[in-house]
Amino acid sequence: MMRMVLIGIWACVVTLASTFGASYWKSHHSAPAEPAAHVEKLEVKKVKPITVPIISDGMLKGYISAEFAYVVEASNTSHGSGGGAVDADSYVMDEAFRRLYADNSLDFRRIEKYDLNSLTRELTKSINQRLGAELVRETLVKSFAFVPKDDIPH
């Protein structure tokens, strides 16, 4: 009987020692942890719709009604109407209005052929230049339509 007790104690000591040794070895000899990859969280900010008058041959032909949004990093607090230092919404609206108003290639008779990809790339570039930082990742078009002057109720 005494032999059985000694064998039981010996088995417990060996089990505890091997568990402790394995834990110690694993915690001190593991491969160095790789830094966690930076996961970028993006946020889409909507801006108010704009209405741009289209003047051709010195006469008002109608209006472009457009609505834009822009993509920014969610952790960046210096944008939008959240009380940050810069109101990027105003810059997006201003750049879009200026670009559309001054664009001589805009043919209101064939508005479906207008190059929106070029417009959004140029808007993003211009907005970031004016802000002095790469704040806006992408500019998006939510709506874009031409409304002839005669279709507007007086």
How, if at all, do strands 50-56 and 42-46 pair? Answer: unpaired
Residues 83-131 pLDDT 10s:
455 678 999 999 999 999 988 777 777 777 788 899 999 999 999 999 9
Evaluate whether 49 touches 92 at the Cβ level (below 8 Å).
no
pLDDT attached to residue 30: 57
The C-alpha R_g of the chain, in whole angstroms, comes to: 32
Among residues 73, 71, 91, the alpha carbon closest in space to that of 132 is found at 91
- Residue-level pLDDT at 16: 65
